[in-house]
Structure 1
Amino acid sequence: MTNRSCLSSKGGESPTKSMRRSPKQQRGKQRVEKILDAAAEVFAEVGYDAATTHAIATRANTAVGSLYQFFPDKAAIFRALEIRHVERVRAMWAKLDKPSIIQLPLRQMIQQLVAAVAKLFEQPTSRVVFVQFFTAPEIFQTIDESLTQEAIAFMASLLKQRHPTLSDERASLLAEVCVHCSNTLILIALRSSETHSQQLIQQIEDLLVSYLSPHVGDEVLQSEVMKVMICPHCQSERLSKNGHRHGKQRYLCKDCGKQFPAWKGALP
């Protein structure tokens, strides 16, 4: 098991710091994006050491002189890819950190998380940055292992939101195991055939669900909720789960027969 993470950075530097000049017009911005897309493909195919700025320019269908207008060397190009990857990772986190996802049944919540990560790694930039970080960490200028803690803190936050009575220490430990195990399998998946890669992604989902169920699974949360739930209509404590609506768990009172969402039955 590795102690590296795909989600780590040294301080959130701007991409312009790795560039000779920043494009002002849309045409220049599009050219830079083409260069970065091409670089990700070249680095993925031949590795960082064998890649050249001429090969990247050729793949981007641009003159090498145009490439040098923006990037002084391939190290600057790779650094821009690092920053691009981190920006995309943080955008992914922002989309996942929502009650509508966190409050889903555990299997569905994990499916959302794993699907988002799988989609991230459909992009050549994230694939090459992730693999190179494990195989050639010395080339990195922006990403380092500090993002491992950021990833763990993010996952711990999701678990705490899902199960507020979890201690910070327990949430952090659960998150640490989830991040490290997932990263290990992701690395293998990215270096495998498409079929085997898909199988491993599914195993990540099954692994996380099995591991987290005793701690933040549906039955655990149901037990915790039922301890502090009463029917808002008749104050009965005899309740049963009755499906979800708009991402919220609903309950059925066994005495009066009325339904209500979890928050309406919570004791003050």
Structure 2
Amino acid sequence: MTKYSHSSRSLRRQPKQQRGKERVEKILDAAAAVFDKVGYAAATTHLIAAKAETAIGSVYQFFPDKAAIFKAMELRHIERVKAMWAQANKQKITQLTFRQMIHALVTAVVELFEQPVSRVVFVQFFSSREMFQLIDESMTQEAIDFAASLFKQRNPTLDEAQSSLLAEVCVHSSNAVILAALRNPDEQHRQQLVQQIEELFVSYLEPYMGDNRLDDVMNIMKCPHCRSQQLSKNGHRRGKQCYLCKECGKQFVELAV
């Protein structure tokens, strides 16, 4: 059990109505902006209330102090990360082409850190770890375990140690690049750094789980047009089996590799 298992205690009271939930989100986004601008030490609940354009009493209605606010920000980040992992599994991204899979992963991470709360929590974790109440290194290990499970799904011939090592390198290297990007004030350069994460993953992982590699190792029949494995037999032509791709609807003659 991680130390953020019982996370609902960060709020003084849980908002039940949509209006209350929206107010909490507004306070958390305002806190992220204040922490980002002046730092956690200099931040006050009054500054946060002013940024949220709400009365200080509204802040105290949900949070007793700024530590409780930051704890709620940790929780919000955790929820979003876990939702991102669940969505990746739900969408079965390991069944996409290799490049599409990497793009889907990187895009999901980029979208996560476009949210102010997650961006500030991530940066603060690498600069002021002592202020964290819920998140610790166990979350990094969870990220490694999640990536390893994806890699294992993508290429079942990988053993546990190998998939874990690949995942560890990917998580730590991407964290370093993302941190550099989030700290960079130049928007254009920040985007360039983030874009390189995809190229980094493609170059590093392709020998282990690229489309051609998997075809060679596992002898998988795939559509030559969209690389889908969702095929059905569709008669014969000149003695060869014909197939119909259920994904793109195109036909092709037997192309087993």
Q: TM-score range by the shorter chain?
A: 0.7 to 0.9
Structure 2, unmatched stretches of 5+, are 247-253
User: Which segments of structure 1 move beyond 4 Å, counting only runs of 4 or more?
Assistant: 249-255
In the alignment, does 2:207 pair up with 1:214? yes
Map 1:52-71 → 2, pairs under 5 A:
52-71=44-63
**Aligned-partner Cα distance in 1 for 2:172–2:23:** 36
> Is the alpha carbon distance of 1:100 and 1:27 closer, same or farther for their aligned partners in structure 2, counting shifts above 3 Å?
closer
Q: Deviations over 1:177-214 (max 9, x none)?
A: 00000000000010112111111111100010100011
Which of 71, 75, 82 aligns to 1:83? It is 75
Q: Which amino acid aligns with 1:244?
A: C
Matched with 2:167 is 175
* Offset of residue 66 of structure 1: 1.9
In the alignment, does 2:243 pair up with 1:259? yes
Matched with 2:198 is 205
Equivalent pair of 1:104/1:248 in contact (CA under 8 Å): no
Matched with 2:130 is 138
Equivalent pair of 2:71/2:133 in contact (CA under 8 Å): yes
> Is the alpha carbon distance of 1:18 and 1:216 closer, same or farther for their aligned partners in structure 2, counting shifts above 3 Å?
same
Which of 229, 241, 244 aligns to 2:226? It is 244
> Is the alpha carbon distance of 1:243 and 1:100 closer, same or farther for their aligned partners in structure 2, counting shifts above 3 Å?
farther
Calculate the TM-score normalised by the size of structure 1.
Answer: 0.83
Equivalent pair of 2:223/2:229 in contact (CA under 8 Å): no
Matched with 2:179 is 187
Where 2:240 maps in the other structure, the secondary structure is coil
**Aligned-partner Cα distance in 2 for 1:95–1:135:** 29
Matched with 2:24 is 32
Which of 3, 7, 21 aligns to 1:10? It is 3
* Offset of residue 98 of structure 1: 4.0
* Offset of residue 249 of structure 1: 6.4
Cα RMSD between the aligned structures? Answer: 2.3
* Offset of residue 251 of structure 1: 9.8
Calculate the TM-score normalised by the size of structure 2.
Answer: 0.87
Q: Number of matched residues?
A: 242
Where 1:189 maps in the other structure, the secondary structure is helix
**Aligned-partner Cα distance in 2 for 1:195–1:73:** 36
Which of 109, 113, 119 aligns to 2:105? It is 113
Tell which has more relative contact order, 1 or 2 (C-alpha 8 A, sep 6+).
1
Structure 1, unmatched stretches of 5+, are 1-8, 230-238
Q: Which amino acid aligns with 2:229?
A: K
**Aligned-partner Cα distance in 2 for 1:136–1:151:** 20
**Aligned-partner Cα distance in 1 for 2:245–2:156:** 18
